[in-house]
Amino acid sequence: MLLVEDEPRVAGFVAKGLRERAYAVDVARDGEEALYYAGVNDYDLVILDVMLPIKDGYAVCRELRGSGYRAPILMLTARDAVDDRVAGLDSGADDYLTKPFDFKELLARLRALSRRNTPIRPGVMQLADLTLNPESHAISRAGKRISVTAKEYALLEFLMLNQNRVVNREQIAQHVWDENFDPFSNIIDVYVRRLRTKIDAGFAQPLIHTRRGEGYILTAERMTAHD
């Protein structure tokens, strides 16, 4: 997701909390930077502060919606007057949260917006004997609970959402990592190997496969040997 917040303390707190919960977060510090990021990246959700340098949140939201931008937008502001909330919603925001806010409420609103944006997303995802619960982040295979890190969870969830489809490194980087991702690193391969160790080791049927020159696929179908 894209977090647009010019206050370093707030941006750092929110970004850190979201990343600890397996979200990939890019941070923009002003309205122009927000529009640039939104133009070059495919975000699932935008958290947009109202009081921003260069262009305020209302202007950013209007420009995004005017260009056909469809990702959910949650506005953050210290203003709590009814007219301010109405202005935010009229500019194209999907929801509005007043500062200061409880981080648990922010997470709940993000989950609600995500569900609204992807109505066909199941409550529990399953492939063969592998299950993943997006609400609790619980993962199990053949009834055995599997413990993963936040980034491993984010990668597996993305693969589950795209099960039986090949996803390339660029798609994984965009949805699972943030703007600090080094495209020349082998970090994606490292995390795929870690997941294979936890998900496939000890099972006769591997689920995570490599399609050389294309990317990775999570499938229960029999495939050629992977690395």
Element (H, E) at 73: strand 73-77
Write down all domains in the chain, each with its CATH number in brackets: 2-117 (3.40.50.2300), 125-218 (1.10.10.10)
Q: Write down the pLDDT at residue 131.
A: 95
pTM: 0.65
The per-residue pLDDT string of the chain (227 residues; one tens digit each, 9 = 90 and over) reads 999 999 999 999 999 999 888 888 999 999 999 999 999 888 889 999 999 999 999 999 999 999 988 899 999 988 766 777 777 788 899 998 888 899 999 999 998 888 765 544 556 899 999 999 987 889 999 999 999 988 899 899 999 989 999 999 888 887 888 767 777 788 999 999 999 999 999 898 999 999 888 999 999 987 754 44
